[in-house]
Amino acid sequence: MIRLASWIIGSLVIAGVAAWIISLPGTMTLELAGYRMQPRLGTAVVILLLAAALVILVWAVVRRVIGAPRAMARRRTARRREQGVEALSDAVIALQAGDPARARIMAREAQARLPDNGAAKLLEARADLALGDMPAAREHYRALISSEKTAVAALTGLYDQARAQNRPDAALTFARKTLALAPETGWAGQAVFDDLARRGQWAEAVAMVNAEPATTREDKARKRRRQAVIETARARELENSQANAALDHALTALKLLPDFVPAALIAARIYSNRGEARRAQSLLRRIWRSTGHPDVATLYAHSQSGASAVDRLKRLGEIIELPAPHRAAGMAMARAAIDAYDWPRARAALQPFAGTEATQGVATLMAEIEEGQSGDQGKAREWLARAVRAPRDPAWTADGIVSDEWEPLSPVTGRLDAFEWKVPVANNSRQTPLAAAPAASPPALLAADTALPLAPTENAQ
């Protein structure tokens, strides 16, 4: 409605202006080729306007005729480009649909119509890789490295090809080149970092983590955890040979994550080996209050060098009261009580957890109690039979592998910080040799005998 009103008003204004111009008084003399005209002023203005419009129209026609070849060339180029983009789209769809042969055909068609398009070349290389034509894919990728726009993408393809061919050294070389060209490339940084971790080059690994940008709260928390894990791994390696350096790394990890159980266990063992039992106990009490991890309680009981089993039980009573607040506390107290031959206390510690939901660890401890307290072999065998069918207790687990002791890397994938303290879902297990545990003093030996874990888990922090 507004448009109609505007059009009517505009038409009326134009008609009024035209009528006013035509009615202007006076005349204009025009002489051309011996002809003389004296039209009125308004009529002359209208004639001049019509002549100007005619000139413009003639020039537009002439210009269109002159520019026709160029316009046709532009239309052909645009059409060719549209066909190339359509072929490129079809190539992407075919590759995602699992038809690399058609993807390669469409990528070549796209290259024919878009000769300077790097995406078409990359798609052909990807199709070659999917078809298993490794030499062709490698040649395409190497040709794309010379271009600044496609260098990173080409190195990514070469990296994937090297991994597919099980050439880890070549894959790492491509990852390092990519990282040098584009430091922000995530996969390259992760590949280089994983290699440093597998080789135990912790100093270089932690330097990479320190250089990572962290803007969000989640990124900062993830960065602190990785730093703490690496520092704990360094402390674990140096615990037997360089105790002072190991303690520094463990304390650094605790500064990053104050309730980091593995770092606390290493630091407490070093304090105990030095004869600084009070420091070890203070640290372990704090970690126990915040995590309730069973290995913390076990190490707390063994924190005093040369202590008897009765002394260890008494010391453990400083942090665990009966009835035990949870199963881990009850099992730790029962273990110490069994070692001290305090059978009633051991039974009382396990009583709340010895029902139908008793785990393998609880059932095994109850079998020891029945045999040690009364010598009842029948009840002991009954508990052992229950242990076979009972739910499993939490353990250090990574990628289906159960280990007596935490390790910084997964033995399957080599992933850092893979071990978690949780109920295993697989039956695979790995025994940790005693030689791998610290062996500098009796507390350390006792800690090794109880298979103390050294590493972080989400549930143990």
**Cβ–Cβ < 8 Å for 197, 414:** yes
Q: Specify which residues 409 forms β-bridges with.
A: 416
The angle, 0 to 180 degrees and rounded to 10, between the axes of the packed helices 186-198 and 168-181 is 130
b/e code 195-217 from CB counts within 10 Å (16+ = b)? bbbeeeebeebbebbeeeeeeee
**Rounded to 5°, angle at Cα 452 from 308 and 388:** 95
**Local structure of 458: helix, strand or coil:** coil
**Cβ–Cβ < 8 Å for 174, 154:** no
**Cβ–Cβ < 8 Å for 92, 66:** no
| Amino acid symbol at 345 | R
Q: How confident is the model over 244-287, as pLDDT tens digits?
A: 999 999 999 999 999 989 999 999 999 999 999 999 999 999 99
Residues in the chain: 461
CA atoms 107, 109, 114, 116: torsion sign: positive
Overall average pLDDT of the 14-40 stretch:
70
Alpha-carbon distance of 266 to 448, in angstroms, equals 12
Q: How sure is the predictor about 426, in pLDDT bands with cuts at 50, 70 and 90?
A: low
Alpha-carbon distance of 282 to 263, in angstroms, equals 14
- Dihedral (Cα; 281, 283, 289, 292), 10-degree rounding: -80
Q: Is 120 exposed, middle or buried (0-12, 13-18, 19+ CB in 10 A)?
A: buried
Alpha-carbon distance of 334 to 341, in angstroms, equals 10
Please give the helix or strand (H or E) that residue 68 lies within, else none.
helix 68-96
**Cβ–Cβ < 8 Å for 202, 233:** yes
Across 4-121, where does the E strand assignment appear? 30-32, 35-37
Alpha-carbon distance of 141 to 159, in angstroms, equals 10
Overall average pLDDT of the 56-82 stretch:
86
Find, among 375, 300, 361, the residue nearest to 328 by Cα. 361
Tokens of 172: 């790492």
Q: Which of 116-120, 217-221, 245-249 has the lowest mean pLDDT?
A: 116-120
Please give the helix or strand (H or E) that residue 429 lies within, else none.
strand 428-430
Q: Is the pLDDT of residue 427 over 60?
A: no
pLDDT at 155: 87
pLDDT at 334: 95
Tokens of 202: 């912790």
**Local structure of 239: helix, strand or coil:** coil
Alpha-carbon distance of 456 to 461, in angstroms, equals 7
Overall average pLDDT of the 313-324 stretch:
91
pLDDT at 77: 81
Backbone angles phi, psi at 73, to 5 degrees: -65, -40
Alpha-carbon distance of 228 to 210, in angstroms, equals 11
Q: How sure is the predictor about 17, in pLDDT bands with cuts at 50, 70 and 90?
A: confident
Please give the helix or strand (H or E) that residue 369 lies within, else none.
helix 360-373
Q: How confident is the model over 151-185, as pLDDT tens digits?
A: 888 888 888 888 888 888 888 888 888 888 888 88
The angle, 0 to 180 degrees and rounded to 10, between the axes of the packed helices 261-274 and 442-449 is 150
Tell me what the pLDDT averaged over the chain comes to. Answer: 83
**Cβ–Cβ < 8 Å for 408, 399:** no
Q: How sure is the predictor about 392, in pLDDT bands with cuts at 50, 70 and 90?
A: very high
